[in-house]
Structure 1
Amino acid sequence: MFPIYIFICLGLTQFIVLPVFDRYDWLLFFCMLMQVLMVRLGIESMDELKVITVFHLIGLVMEIFKVNMGSWTYPEEAFFKVYGVPLFSGFMYASVASYLCQFWRRFDVELMKWPSLFLTIPLAAAIYLNFFTHHYILDLRWILFVLVALTFYQAQLTFSVNRRHFKIPILMFFLLIGFLIWIGENIATFLGAWQYPNQHGSWELVHLGKISSWLLLMIVSFLIVANLKVVKSKIK
């Protein structure tokens, strides 16, 4: 619901000029309204809201860094804009967290042969840090992919749909969701959410190489949610 809602808002504000506020500020208002409604209507719990807020902050920090490194830009004006990044952008990361939390709860997700927290937490931290450090030192993403494969080659995810149980290797799950995020990125850039350097003149398909970036980001997102679920189950 949340990602689709964001796409709808992007589309409407792209073709309909709303009064008083800038487009990015309207998008922030719409995203905040959706988040409040989801909690008030019981679609999301307060615990899930806490996780989503963490994703919002993590995403916003990375956005500020990447924009100021010239990786992409938000060309339109906005009052609620920090170092070139409109605050609504954090909700795009939060929508991924929202999806993961909802998927986990509604489809009775269980993890099989899940590696130790002593492996998954440092790996998630290393992947996230590489988004920053590769601007200054060697990009380690392919080494990280190897480490991900070695860490999760046995791990599987099970879920239920209409009382039918399904099982999928976690590495395949990462790849599928990362690809879906890349498709979503193409929709978002087409609707003017942000621009890559090659899209300033006219819109172009986002480079296929970006799939590897979103795959790594998806892995970080899933590891945060999964590790929180693992820790919470042990506390219970």
Structure 2
Amino acid sequence: MVIRAIVADDQTVVRTGFVNLLSTQGDIEVVGEAGDGAEAVGLVAQRRPDIALLDIRMPRMDGIRAARTIVNDTAGATKVLMLTTFSLDEYVFDALAAGASGFLLKDATFPELLHAVRLVAAGKAMLAPDITKRLIEEFSRRRPSHLPVPDLGSLTARESEVLLLIAQGLSNTEITQRLTVTDHTVKTHINRLFAKLGLRDRAQAVIVAYEMGLVTPGSRRPD
């Protein structure tokens, strides 16, 4: 399956660099590029890509507004990967609420770029542990969640445990090993807790876990 992508960045050199790198891959097709958020929204409407890579700071319409519009207009069919210069860019917190599924630093390596695009296009959240912990801790300190407060009482004990492990940055494989269950079982727990809490992806799951006090800023990832 070929991943159809668009790239939006007002810096031509940066945008061209991302486009050229992605175009070297047989499973990724760049179907458009834009110099601002408004152009990106238009491209998505015309070409319906699987993923949109959006710079956060752009003229006319910034990446946050573009992300929110794209996610809403496509009902989440087009995933959004935000491009940012700083791992703690203040706008990253707004991007979470806007529906972005991941974040990528502009100085990321080529393998990191490809991994992020493939992961987000597959419907997963790009929450690298080295960025996630700082992002969510700062988010929980500075900004209220834009998500409705869920009822954690609807979760089973095991689903609550899985939510906690997700918030601590563990992958499905790591959760499988920690709980000594099959990968299928972990996926079932995740799908059920997402459905019960009305969550779209792991990014929202992490925010909810912090908002509900399951994890607190500064808490450590389990060994």
Structure with higher Rg: it is 1
More relative contact order, 1 or 2 (CA 8 Å, 6+ apart)? 1
Higher normalized helix content (fraction of residues): 1
TM-score (norm 2): 0.30
TM-score (normalised: structure 1): 0.29
- Of Structure 1 and Structure 2, the greater strand share is in 2
